[in-house]
Amino acid sequence: MTVEPLGDSSNIGARAVLEAFDRGFIRTRINQGEIDPLVLIVVNARTKSEDRLSTRQRPSGFFTAAAKTATVAMDNYSHESVASLREALYARVQTQRDERACIDLLAEHCPDAPRPVAFAAEVDPYVIEINFEAAALLPDEDPRYYLDLPTSFSLSAEQVEKLVNIGPRLLLASPQFQCLLKVLEAESRGLPRPGECPKGAGIFP
Which whole number is the average pLDDT over 64-85? 61
Please report the pLDDT score of residue 9 as a whole number. 40
User: One-letter amino acid identity for 181?
Assistant: L
Which whole number is the average pLDDT over 69-80? 57
State the average pLDDT for the chain: 82
Instruction: Give pLDDT tens digits for 109-164.
Output: 998 888 777 788 899 999 999 999 999 999 999 999 999 998 777 889 999 999 99
Is the CB of residue 169 less than 8 Å from the CB of residue 134?
A: no
pTM value surpassing 0.75: yes
Report CA-CA distances (Å) from 168 to 35, 101, 121, 156, 171.
24, 39, 32, 20, 5
User: One-letter amino acid identity for 191?
Assistant: L
Strands (E), 10-168: 38-44, 125-131
For the chain, give every domain's residue range.
14-48+59-188
Q: CA-based angle 33:35:41, to the nearest 5?
A: 165
Give the residue among 46, 72, 19 at the shortest CA–CA distance from 133. Answer: 46
**In sequence order, what are the residues at sequence separation of 6 or more whose Cβ sits closer than 8 angstroms to the Cβ of residue 159?**
149
Instruction: Give pLDDT tens digits for 170-199.
Output: 999 999 999 999 999 999 999 999 999 999
Which whole number is the average pLDDT over 48-53? 56
Is the CB of residue 112 less than 8 Å from the CB of residue 26?
A: no
pLDDT at 74 > cutoff 50: no
